[in-house]
């Protein structure tokens, strides 16, 4: 096997301390290998000029263009000097400006007719696009030696444009790459030879040379195909190994028992399960019946009946002699699950109590804010096995909690639940319990394969009968203030018809938050003149909006607030009164985003809707239309009609299909935040692969990875692949995969 050390060399050794420091701090590049995997973002062809007409504002750009004219202007009575240079590329013009002592060198060099590469940040001055103080490199030097060098470096060649930063231009990065490129020969090729040859891939050292210094467009395509495949494949091997390791763990098989709790529960259901619920339940029951722990992700739209599917799985486990625990991310949610599950089960949830069913079991709630006596009783019911089902927050994972025989763990909204917690819970069983993870965030298939790659996936995509359609509209509060007035009228009408409404705001608006959020300084004063000096006004706040509504548009209605800083008892009280219909309008933060279920609430107004993400808006909207009356969701925004923010809102208003929206969301944000900041480990290893466009690559890589791991779980016959995996799965990345 080749020596990998040259790729592990620190950049300092080859590039000098100053450059290496900038690369480490601003581009997260530390070793020769890191820099070799810092791929060009695009390529310029010599002589083929970037369209100056398409420059994005406020972005750092690199352009190749010709100097049309250059002139020195004086200002401040001749004390100040400014050099203005006009560039052209046949499609448009661009102004460059240099000030002060910085004008002399460019004035000598940037003569009309000269061609150069320029890099800088695009801004607007006097309604014209300009680059102020760009860095540049001439492409046609006058001196003969220099000229031949420049021609060698650039003529007829594709110029790689690298992701750069203010401190380091693309061509400086290109020069650094030249210094490390010889090391590409030592790159360890992770692909088994049979796979590489079978799919006709370029060898890795060659792919690295081609991606950085392509001779032709075909070189670029070759290199990209190879490098994309590597990323997908190495990641999928890591996930396949994790899945394989999980299947090697022992678990108690929990087989479905006839005439038990589950059958009694099914018999009293007032409706029939949807086809989707039947299909997914069967997948889960099959998993539960095996002697290896189930690891399944259950995706389903808000209201698609995930809780019903999870409850039936829990009942099957109780029938088979085990216990089931359901974990919710917040107390409000845990209480709500407890309420809805005990309601659905009726007397079956009162096992061992007078009047309870002889086939029943106890369903207990365990949260951090419970009183000591109630908590003691719940813990006792768990350890004796009297309680078959427990619902709680991660208070369930504390050391004090002991189970009689934990067979199944259901985790609601996985992305709020870390791996340490998953492991702590696992250790509560005599052997690892089965695991079912539920999420209402629709995840496109490729992202599911990448982010939740260690879980098998089930999808509920039908809405149960009886769910009502939700009409969604964007309310442009700035352009058309009367639309907002009409929105409040609509809310009042819904209440008049016996229904209730939510108003959602991005912020709480209490003083604690003011002080934290904006340094406590003049936060109040800022509000008086929100738009002065172009500053965005602070997001609208629950407490302010509630006061305005009580005193204005909704006076005479019962308006209450709900937010995360309230005492848990206070929150419960408000939620209980809202659920009971005693509160007409609930003004809340996103604490209501997940799982709040009040079928009588039909309208939702989301203030500053452009400050929420697409999937969050979709989640919030899913809180209305849960009963027989149609739902209404109004997205209030001051964003400009042509802005991306408004485009996002229009997309949300146009479809109720969460998978479609998650795709739109992904296309707008690209991968960066899909994998989330917490999962930076893999973010840095997805350099070439885009989770949206490369669905086939990811799916094919997954298939190959599964086959390879099944045949050789320890990868003993593939030492190179093992080496590369070890590099990918350094500490941070291990954690990323675990979060899946």
Look at the block and give the residue holding tokens 């996930």. 239
- In this prediction, residues 498-512 reach a mean pLDDT of 86
Residue with tokens 């904006």: 518
Residue 605, pLDDT above cutoff 50: yes
Give tens-digit pLDDT for 204-226: 999 999 999 998 889 999 999 99
Q: Whole-prediction pTM value?
A: 0.62
179/49: higher pLDDT: 179
pLDDT digits (tens, 9 = 90+) for 396-446: 877 788 899 999 999 887 555 555 666 677 678 788 899 898 887 767 766
Whether 675 has a pLDDT exceeding 60, the answer reads: no
pLDDT at 711: 92
- The residue whose two tokens read 């705001």 is 505
Distance of CA 258 to the CA centre of its chain: 42
Q: In the prediction, which pLDDT does 419 show?
A: 58
Q: Are 436 and 286 in contact (CB under 8 A)?
A: no
> How far apart are alpha carbons 400 and 191 in whole angstroms?
48
Which element (helix H / strand E) includes 297? Answer: strand 295-300
Does the structure show a pLDDT above 80 at 145? Answer: no
User: Quick one: which of 473, 462, 449, 453 has its CA closest to 624?
Assistant: 473
pLDDT at 734 over 60: no
Please report the pLDDT score of residue 417 as a whole number: 55
pLDDT in tens, 688-730: 676 666 778 888 898 899 999 999 998 899 988 888 887 766 5
Cα separation, 582 vs 574, in Å, equals: 9
Give 52's pLDDT tier (boundaries 50, 70, 90).
confident
Q: Which long-range contacts (CB under 8 A, 24 or more apart) does 338-346 make?
A: 338/363, 338/365, 338/391, 340/307, 340/597, 341/307, 341/311, 341/389, 341/391, 344/265, 344/308, 344/311, 345/265, 345/311, 346/268
**pLDDT value of residue 303:** 67
Q: Mean pLDDT, the chain, as a whole number?
A: 80
466: left (phi over 0), alpha (psi -120 to 50) or beta: left
Q: Are the beta carbons of 626 and 599 closer than 8 angstroms? A: yes
Q: How confident is the model at residue 155 (pLDDT cuts 50, 70, 90)?
A: very low
Residue 42 sits at φ, ψ, to 5 deg, of -160, 180
d(CA 190, CA 199): 14
Main-chain phi, psi angles of 391, to 5 degrees: -125, 130
């Amino acid at each position: 096997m080749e020596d990998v050390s040259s790729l592990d060399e620190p950049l300092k050794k080859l590039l000098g301390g100053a450059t290496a420091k900038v690369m480490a701090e601003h581009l997260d590049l530390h070793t020769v290998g890191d820099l070799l995997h810092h791929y060009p973002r695009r390529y310029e062809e010599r002589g083929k000029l970037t369209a100056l007409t398409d420059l994005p504002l406020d972005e750092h750009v690199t352009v190749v263009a010709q100097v049309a004219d250059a002139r020195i202007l004086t200002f401040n009575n001749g004390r100040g000097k400014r050099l203005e240079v006009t560039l052209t590329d046949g499609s448009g013009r661009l102004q460059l400006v240099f000030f002060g002592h910085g004008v002399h060198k460019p004035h000598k060099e940037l003569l009309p007719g000269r061609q150069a590469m320029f890099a800088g940040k695009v801004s607007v001055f006097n309604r014209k696009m300009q680059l102020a103080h760009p860095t540049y490199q001439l492409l046609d030097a006058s001196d003969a030696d220099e000229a031949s060098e420049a021609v060698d470096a650039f003529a007829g060649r594709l110029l790689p444009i690298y992701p750069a930063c203010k401190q380091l231009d693309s061509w400086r990065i290109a020069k650094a790459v030249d210094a490390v490129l010889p090391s590409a020969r030592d790159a360890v090729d992770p692909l088994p030879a049979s796979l590489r040859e079978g799919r006709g891939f370029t060898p890795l050292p060659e792919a690295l040379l081609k991606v950085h210094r392509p001779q032709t467009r075909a070189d670029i395509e070759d290199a990209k195909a190879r490098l994309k495949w590597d990323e997908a494949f190495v990641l999928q091997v890591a996930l396949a190994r994790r899945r394989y390791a999980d299947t090697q763990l022992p678990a108690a098989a929990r087989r479905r028992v006839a005439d038990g709790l589950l059958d009694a529960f099914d018999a009293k259901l007032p409706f029939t399960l949807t086809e989707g619920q039947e299909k997914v339940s069967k997948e889960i029951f099959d998993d539960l019946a095996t002697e290896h722990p189930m690891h399944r992700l259950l995706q389903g739209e808000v209201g698609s009946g995930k809780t019903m599917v999870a409850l039936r799985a829990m009942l099957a486990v109780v029938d088979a002699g085990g216990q089931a625990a359901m974990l919710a991310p917040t107390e409000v949610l845990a209480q709500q699950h407890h309420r809805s599950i005990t309601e659905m089960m009726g007397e079956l949830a009162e096992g061992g109590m007078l009047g309870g069913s002889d086939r029943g079991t106890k369903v207990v709630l365990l949260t951090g804010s419970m009183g000591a006596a109630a908590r003691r009783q719940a813990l006792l019911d768990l350890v004796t096995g009297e309680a078959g089902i427990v619902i709680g927050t991660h208070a369930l994972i504390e050391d004090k909690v002991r189970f009689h025989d934990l067979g199944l763990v259901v985790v609601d909204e996985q992305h709020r639940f870390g791996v340490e917690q998953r492991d702590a819970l696992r250790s509560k069983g005599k052997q690892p319990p089965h695991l079912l993870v539920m999420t209402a965030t629709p995840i496109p298939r490729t992202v599911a394969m990448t982010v939740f790659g260690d879980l098998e996936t089930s999808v509920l995509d039908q809405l149960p009968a009886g769910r009502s359609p939700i009409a969604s509209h964007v309310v442009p509060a700035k352009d058309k203030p009367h639309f907002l007035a009409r929105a409040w009228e609509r809310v009042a009408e819904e209440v008049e018809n016996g229904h209730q409404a939510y108003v959602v705001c991005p912020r709480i608006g209490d003083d604690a938050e003011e002080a934290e959020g904006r340094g406590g300084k003049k936060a109040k004063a800022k509000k008086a003149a929100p738009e002065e000096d172009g500053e965005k006004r602070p997001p609208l706040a629950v407490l302010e909006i509630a006061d305005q509504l009580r005193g204005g548009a909704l006076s005479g209605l019962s308006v209450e607030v709900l937010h995360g800083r309230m005492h848990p008892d206070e929150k419960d009280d408000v939620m209980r009164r809202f659920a009971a219909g005693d509160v007409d309008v609930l003004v809340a933060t996103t604490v209501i985003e997940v799982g709040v279920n009040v079928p009588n609430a039909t309208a939702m107004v989301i203030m500053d809707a452009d400050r929420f993400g697409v999937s969050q808006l979709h989640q919030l909207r899913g809180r209305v239309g849960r009963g027989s009356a149609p739902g209404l969701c109004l997205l209030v925004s001051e964003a400009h009609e042509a802005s991306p923010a408004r485009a996002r809102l229009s997309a949300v208003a146009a479809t109720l299909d969460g998978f479609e929206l998650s795709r739109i969301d992904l296309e707008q944000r690209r991968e960066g935040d899909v994998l989330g900041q917490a999962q930076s480990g893999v973010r840095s290893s997805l350099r070439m692969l885009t989770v949206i466009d490369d669905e086939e690559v990811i799916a094919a890589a997954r298939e190959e990875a599964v086959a390879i791991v099944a045949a050789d779980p320890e990868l003993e016959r593939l030492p190179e692949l093992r080496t590369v995996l070890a590099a990918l799965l350094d500490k941070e990345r291990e954690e990323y995969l675990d979060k899946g």
